[in-house]
Chain A
Amino acid sequence: MTATSAPARSGPRTADQHSHPHARRSRLPFSPWHFVLIPATVVLLFPFLWLVVTSLETDPEALHFPPILIPHTIRFANYSDALAAAPFVRFFINSAVVAVTTVLCNLVLCTLAGYAFARFRFLGRTALFAVIMATLMVPFQVTMIPQFIITKWLGVHVLAAVGINHIGALILPNAATAFGIFFLRQFFRTLPLEYEESARVDGASRLTVLIRIVLPLATPCLATLAALTFLDSWNNFLWPLIAVTSTNQMTLPLGLATFQGAHNTEWTLLMAGNVMSLVPMLIVFFIAQRYFVRSVAATGLAGT
């Protein structure tokens, strides 16, 4: 990081002050913004770091004051102990099944409904769409009690797999979302009609037009919806807390919370469990970082 290379690196697209006269006042060989960014990054990353350190310490070292920042002996057995104390692999599989199924259901159901609301004129369309928009405004806490009663009833009278205490109960109520339908409808409305019309003239059915013509154009939009739905499902806590009580049906957040309740003073065990719970998501997040970041940015920009 030298004085000569610093201005050369800042490209024309950035909002850096390199083109301003004020920038020349700086005598530092590097950008002064590092003074903001380095402490901030330490604060942002330290909890992660401390989590990993504690998960590898022995109990006497973890429960030592002042805290031991670099453990003398690395104890990987905390991880096997945590796995023996709670079925984290089961939690992970449950979370993955719930999240992936929820994403797939949303992609299919919201695409169909969003397209119909965007393109077809049918009896009751406006009223139906208004009802869906109304549900978008209401917080989950208002609907959760009846949702619990309905889910319980469904499990007893219709299908046990979607009832209370089954992971199906975590999928079905979120299989389609008002947000997803609205989001895709808005996108479909921006597409030019010509492609769809010419395919129709060639004799394609409406479903074929949707699959062959419209969906390829909607891929970025579908990726955004998939990323948002995945994050929501993966981190959902309140509904699983209400709907699931037996350990083998729990998702990661709920399993981890239950584990914390049972071992709330065994810090090394708890941190090992915590590391195992968040590492898979961190990996997925970094592989698909572009999509996650873009989707969050898209909701932000759409809201403005």
Chain B
Amino acid sequence: MAASVARAGVRRPARSTVMRRVLDSEQFNGWAFVTPGVAVILLFGAVPIVWSAVLSFQKSALAGDSSSVGLANYRQLAHDPVVGEAIQHTLIYTALFVPGTMLAGLLLAVAMNRKIRGITIYRTAAYATMAISTISEAIVFIWLFDPSYGIVNYAFSKVGLPQQQFLNSPSEALYVIVAMTIWGWTGFAVVVYLAALQGVPQSLLEAAAIDGAGPWRAFRKVTLPLLSPASLFLAVWLTINALQLFDEVYLSTQGGPLNATTVLVYYLYDQAFQQFNFGYASAIAYFLFLIILVVTAVQFWVGRRVTFYRS
């Protein structure tokens, strides 16, 4: 309506006015602004989601054999003993890594949330672990835990513990990977908890002290509940990352020894890009997605009940 009024009232050629109106419209600008970014996300994010769903019902794509096999890939998945092991390893890893990182982060953040001498050095040391890539981290830890020359075995010998095979031992390798990844994520957890601790009002802690609560009691009854949103965030975030563990396993053990560190994403990578079973690998990928969805849904469901929001 506005356009027709303007056109009637103005003598200039109608075409350029229409053009200008179009170029200035929310419709045109909206599409022009979103198209480049959205195109990238559709091509490399949305289309592949559908595509891999289709692949999971096919034999294989690389060999050119895209014949439909129905649910065969999923049936194979249910009966594949390696998948069973991979699920077990992934869950054990997650169950150790997530609480371990949260506890380390919480303890250090509480210790660092004060102005004491050397606090900058302490904080910087924790932050530094965020700058190191998973690959660098894994190489250093393989060396630290080397069975023959590693310094950890040396420390063990000093305190009278027997020498260990660590990454070469099927019963120990996964725990070494837990240790290295906790180290690598500590800085992240410290930053999140420190930020949350800054939001704990001093007045509440003082009020608790006046009411006779000791520091431990005040921490449990005041600080910890106020940190619970940060804890929920960390639990979910770390779990999503833990279920996708790959880099450290690829570098340190390649899933071995004797499949002891084969986690889901490693097996998926192996099936997709070593064996080129794209169809079966896609089924594993969707299965992994399902696990992540279920686990995070449970975390949010439980989290809702125990998380304390001040607002």
Chain B neighbourhood of A144, CB < 8 A: 48, 272, 285
Which residue of A115, A176, A286 has the most chain B CB atoms within 10 A of its CB atom?
A176
* Contact yes or no, A139 B149, CB < 8 A: no
* Interface residues of A, count at CB 8 A: 112
Which residue of B24, B124, B129 has the most chain A CB atoms within 10 A of its CB atom?
B124
- Nearest chain-A residue to B202 (Cβ)? A15
Complex: A17 Cα to B218 Cα, angstroms:
11
- Asked, given contacts A41-B122, A257-B251, A281-B131, whether A296 binds B191 with beta carbons under 8 Å apart, the answer is yes
Chain B neighbourhood of A125, CB < 8 A: 30
Q: Name the prevailing secondary structure of the B interface residues.
A: helix
Contact for B278 among A6, A145, A175, A274, CB less than 8 A:
A145
Chain A neighbourhood of B200, CB < 8 A: 15
- Mark interface residues in A8-27 (1 if CB within 8 Å of B CB, else 0): 01111111110111100000
Q: Which of chain B's residues 193-210 have a Cβ closer than 8 Å to chain A?
A: 194-197, 199-200, 202, 205-206, 209
* Distance between A145 CB and nearest chain B CB, rounded to angstroms: 5
Q: Which of chain A's residues 217-238 have a Cβ closer than 8 Å to chain B?
A: 231, 234-235, 237-238
A304 at interface (Cβ–Cβ under 8 A)? yes
B45 at interface (Cβ–Cβ under 8 A)? yes
Contact for B52 among A117, A121, A142, CB less than 8 A:
A142
Q: Which of chain B's residues 55-114 have a Cβ closer than 8 Å to chain A?
A: 55, 61, 104, 107-108, 111-114
* Contact yes or no, B36 A278, CB < 8 A: no
- Asked, given contacts A36-B111, A67-B154, A271-B143, whether A145 binds B196 with beta carbons under 8 Å apart, the answer is no
Complex: A254 Cα to B42 Cα, angstroms:
27
Q: Which of chain A's residues 150-186 have a Cβ closer than 8 Å to chain B?
A: 150, 172-178, 181
Q: Which of B4-12, B132-140, B170-178 is the contact stretch? A: B132-140
- Nearest chain-B residue to A123 (Cβ)? B27
B166 at interface (Cβ–Cβ under 8 A)? no
B258 at interface (Cβ–Cβ under 8 A)? no
A56 at interface (Cβ–Cβ under 8 A)? no
* Contact yes or no, B44 A121, CB < 8 A: no
- Asked, given contacts A296-B188, A304-B232, whether A44 binds B34 with beta carbons under 8 Å apart, the answer is no
Q: Name the prevailing secondary structure of the A interface residues.
A: helix
- Mark interface residues in B200-239 (1 if CB within 8 Å of A CB, else 0): 1010011001000011000000010000011011101100
Task: Give 30 A-B contacts (CB < 8 Å), ordered by A residue.
Answer: A9-B116, A19-B206, A20-B209, A31-B114, A36-B107, A41-B122, A44-B183, A44-B187, A112-B36, A135-B49, A142-B49, A142-B285, A143-B48, A145-B51, A147-B44, A149-B51, A150-B47, A172-B40, A175-B37, A178-B41, A231-B130, A234-B133, A238-B246, A252-B133, A289-B127, A292-B127, A293-B127, A300-B191, A300-B192, A304-B232
**B residues whose Cβ falls under 8 Å from a Cβ of A:** 24, 26-27, 29-31, 33-34, 36-38, 40-49, 51-52, 55, 61, 104, 107-108, 111-118, 121-122, 124-137, 139-141, 143-144, 146, 148-151, 153-154, 157, 183, 186-188, 191-192, 194-197, 199-200, 202, 205-206, 209, 214-215, 223, 229-230, 232-234, 236-237, 240, 244, 246-247, 250-251, 265, 268-269, 272-273, 278, 281-282, 285-286, 288-289, 292-293
Top 4 A-B pairs ranked by shortest CB distance?
A122-B30, A304-B229, A146-B48, A300-B192
